[in-house]
Chains A and B, each alone.
Chain A
Amino acid sequence: MTSTTDFHNESTTSTEDSFLQGIKDCVPTLLGYISIGLAFGVVGSASGLSVIEIALLTILVYAGSAQFIFCALLLTSSPASAIIVTIFVVNLRHLLMSLTLAPHFTRYSMLRNVGFGTLLTDETFGVAVTKQMQKGKLHGKWMDGLNITAYLFWILSCVAGAFLGQWVANPEQWGLDFALIAMFVALLVLQLSSVGKNKIMHYLMLIGYMIVIMYGLSYVVPSHLAVLLATVIVATIGVVTDK
């Protein structure tokens, strides 16, 4: 499944794996970044953050859910330690995403790997695992094109949102918040349509478990923790029930 030990010469990379193709493959996710980024800018300024603070948060933290929760915690005047611990837990799912993608990039240098990891998000992860399932291989230049495009659009959107705050008071009204959910739905469908026919029933069963476990966990833990725990539990069920 993985081709981690293959020697790969970058100069033979076809246009399918180029930096430009990475940019093109990022385009469908941009509506998600732009709408959520604008929404974050609006929420950030409403929470009393200055434009420079919004920009700093966006450039350094680069994680939508974590940035929203940062604002929410600021508003309840939580202590700094509580904010940092919560942000850590909210974004811990990236550890799983990073662990999933990393085996496909072992042929690249340490520095480039740190680069791939630094710009990893839910969206770029989704696009990359789908690409990997369809093509069987991931290329560094393609990943950089995808990552850098997403990063730049996220920064621009958040900062634009910070300025536009006073006009677009309620981005939800325009359905823009759904862009992210629609994207997860589409990526899930693309994932499922590239697994073999013999495995599809197994995956559908796992999604069944996921529905039940997410529902149950939602009573006992905050939803971001439920995502993390349910993923660990259901992936383990997947290994145990795999034939």
Chain B
Amino acid sequence: MTTTASMVWLIIGCALVTWLPRIIPFMFVRSVKLPDVVLKWLSFIPVCILSALVMENLLDTESKSFVTLDWPVFVTFVPTLIIALVTKSLSITVVAGVIIMAAVRFFM
């Protein structure tokens, strides 16, 4: 249960660089009216960022010289996507996804 001063400073440094990008838009958007084209651009961000995060997890960039699908994750992703489309439920999708992933890791 110990730490060092340099570790504490390092963590504080990391905290600052993760905090500022989170709060700066919330502070400045209050006083500036964003142009319509920026608002339109921002309206595409949710779908873009969520699909980018899904893709990031489906790709295996490390084990080979070329980028391939991470097969166990992809095999789990397909039924999980179908469950999400059918149920439109966040909790059912998450629980089902975890169970399928555990089964895939067990059998593959």
Check B37 against A239 for contact (C-beta < 8 Å). Answer: yes
Q: Which of B6, B30, B37 has its CB near the most chain A CB atoms (within 10 A)?
A: B30
Given contacts A87-B17, A97-B49, whether A103 and B39 have CB atoms under 8 Å apart is: yes
- Whether A84 contacts B10 by the Cβ 8 Å rule is yes
Question: Mostly helix, strand, loop or mixed at chain A's interface?
Answer: helix
A106 touches B18 (CB 8 A): no
Assuming A28-B90, A215-B67, is B73 touching A181 (CB within 8 A)? yes
- A186 near B49 with CB under 8 A, answer no
Stretch at the interface among A6-14, A51-59, A149-157: A51-59
* B44 and A118 contacting across the interface, CB-CB below 8 Å: no
B interface, CB within 8 angstroms of A: 1-3, 6-15, 17-19, 21-27, 29-30, 34, 37, 39-57, 59, 61, 66-67, 73, 76-77, 80-81, 84-85, 88-91, 93-105
- Whether A210 and B94, one on each chain, are in contact in the complex, defined by CB atoms closer than 8 angstroms, is no
Size category of the binding interface on chain A: 35 or more
Shortest C-beta distance, B39 to chain A (Å), equals 7
- Does residue A167 face the partner (Cβ distance < 8 Å to B)? no
Closest partner residue, chain A, to B87 (CB atom): A186
Question: Given A117-B22, A182-B93, does the pair A56, B81 have CB atoms closer than 8 Å?
Answer: no
Is A1 in contact with B43, judged by CB distance below 8 angstroms? Answer: yes
Closest Cβ of chain B to A1, distance in Å, is 7
Q: Once the chains bind, are B95 and A31 in contact (CB under 8 Å)?
A: yes
Determine if B39 and A179 form an interchain contact, defined as CB atoms under 8 angstroms apart: no
Q: List 12 A-B contacts (CB under 8 A).
A: A60-B14, A87-B17, A88-B18, A98-B23, A117-B26, A118-B23, A181-B54, A182-B96, A186-B89, A190-B90, A230-B48, A230-B52
Contact A52 B52 (CB under 8 A): no
> Is the CB–CB distance between A95 and B10 below 8 Å?
no
Q: B54, A184: Cβ atoms under 8 Å? A: yes
Q: Is B42 within 8 A of A210, CB to CB?
A: no
CB <8 Å contact, A175 and B100:
yes
Q: Closest CB of chain A to B89's CB: distance in Å?
A: 7
Residue numbers in A under 8 Å from B94 (CB-CB): 28-29, 31-32, 179, 182-183, 186
CB within 8 Å of B: which residues of A?
Answer: 1-2, 27-29, 31-32, 35, 50-53, 56-57, 60-63, 66, 70, 80, 83-85, 87-88, 91-103, 105-106, 110, 113-114, 116-118, 120, 122, 125-127, 129-130, 133, 172-193, 195, 203, 206-207, 210-211, 214-215, 218-219, 223-224, 226-227, 230-231, 234-236, 238-239, 242
**Additional A-B contacts beyond A110-B27, A214-B52 (8; CB < 8 A):** A57-B14, A61-B11, A80-B10, A94-B18, A96-B49, A99-B45, A117-B22, A185-B77
Compute how far the CA of A186 lies from the CA of B79 in the bound complex, rounded to whole angstroms.
12
Contact of A60 among B3, B11, B47 (CB under 8 A): B11
User: Is A239 touching B23 in the complex (CB atoms < 8 A)?
Assistant: no
8 nearest A-B residue pairs (beta carbon): A182-B97, A175-B101, A175-B102, A178-B101, A117-B23, A238-B44, A28-B90, A60-B15
Inter-subunit contact B26/A116 (CB<8 Å): yes
**Which residues of chain A have C-beta atoms less than 8 A from B25's C-beta?**
95, 98-99, 102, 117
| A51 near B52: Cβ-Cβ < 8 Å | no
Which residues of B lie under 8 Å from residue A56 when comparing CB positions? 3, 8, 11
Q: In whole Å, how far is A214's beta carbon from the nearest beta carbon of chain B? A: 4
